[in-house]
Amino acid sequence: MTRIEKPYALALDIGGGHVTAARVDLHKRTVLPGEVHRTVDPNASADALLNAWAAAALEALAGDGHGPPARIGIAVPSPFDHAAGVSWMTHKFVALHGVDVRGGLQDCWVGTVLDGVPLTFGNDADLFTLGEWWGGAARGTGRVIGVTLGTGLGSGFVAGGLVITSGPDVPPDGELWNVPYGGGIAEDFASGQAVRRAYQSSRHEDYSASAAGIAALADAGDMRARAAYAELGTHLGGILAPWVAQFRPDAVVFGGNVARAWKHFQPTLEAALPGVSCQLTTHFEASALLGAAALGNGKLHSEERT
């Protein structure tokens, strides 16, 4: 049998309006050149969605001379039955609700280089965290909490290479977004939308700006914009503190587009979490691809027993 010197996995990251596909070197734990980015209509038919995702995967292998990948890993939003490969989303990809996505993709790949390649699914925030543990800012550590900051709040808990979604040391399903906080839920206080509300409130007027736009204002010296991000850091620390005490991570890694304003909320975050190693992602969008590629041992989730 011919030995493959540099085995690789194929990783896909499914977003609301896009799909990214790339090869990942399993030895170097890096995303290889040739990433494919495709815009996808989330309101398209089931066949159109599956065909677009399948085509992006094949396009990422175009011109590759190493043969089929060792495995395929796909990062998907929730709710999704990862073991069965069935989507239960209703807020996006409505046409795929109840559909066997695994079977649909495998049908698309019959007769191609991906025919018969093992296929595994994982939650996108979980795989962000797994990717940072496997090949990112938390590489070499044992226990990691990952936090993704975008329009909403995502989270993942990884111990020894396993995503932890149950047990006394993590919130239900490993999700922080809906834990009670400040008279509401965590996402009300730690997200891009929360930054926008904090900035609007400081101006006492209706001001439409994205979290990225407010970050640009903070870069330019706008003190109200800086205060909005400082408030984000304080709330993040308050939300994470009880779970840091329970889970005892070696590092907490932050990603997502809002985390690009890291310098504006890092000081208040670290002040709220003294002694905790808080790290900015080293890969941003590529982290979920690394995590998807790391899904190879057939075991993703584990109940925390420590």
Q: What is the model's pTM? A: 0.91
Q: What is the DSSP letter of 172?
A: G
CA distance 181 to 88: 27
Extract the residue ranges of the chain whose pLDDT is less than 70.
Answer: 1-6, 64-66, 203-207, 296-306
pLDDT of residue 64: 64
pLDDT of residue 2: 46
Query: In sequence order, what DSSP letters do the residues of 90-147 get, joined into one string?
Result: SSS-GGGTT-BHHHHHHHHTTTSTTTT--EEEEEHHHHHHHHHHHHSTTTT-SEEEEE
* In contact, 283 and 259? CB cutoff 8 Å: no
Which H or E run includes 290?
Answer: helix 286-294
pLDDT of residue 201: 86
Domains and CATH numbers, the chain: 8-117 (3.30.420.40), 127-290 (3.30.420.40)
Q: What number of residues does the chain have?
A: 306
pLDDT of residue 5: 43
pLDDT in tens, 99-132: 999 999 999 999 999 999 999 999 999 999 999 9
Q: What is the DSSP letter of 110?
A: T
Cβ neighbours of residue 242 under 8 Å, at least 6 residues apart?
Answer: none
Cβ neighbours of residue 90 under 8 Å, at least 6 residues apart?
Answer: 97
pLDDT of residue 285: 86
CA distance 125 to 131: 10
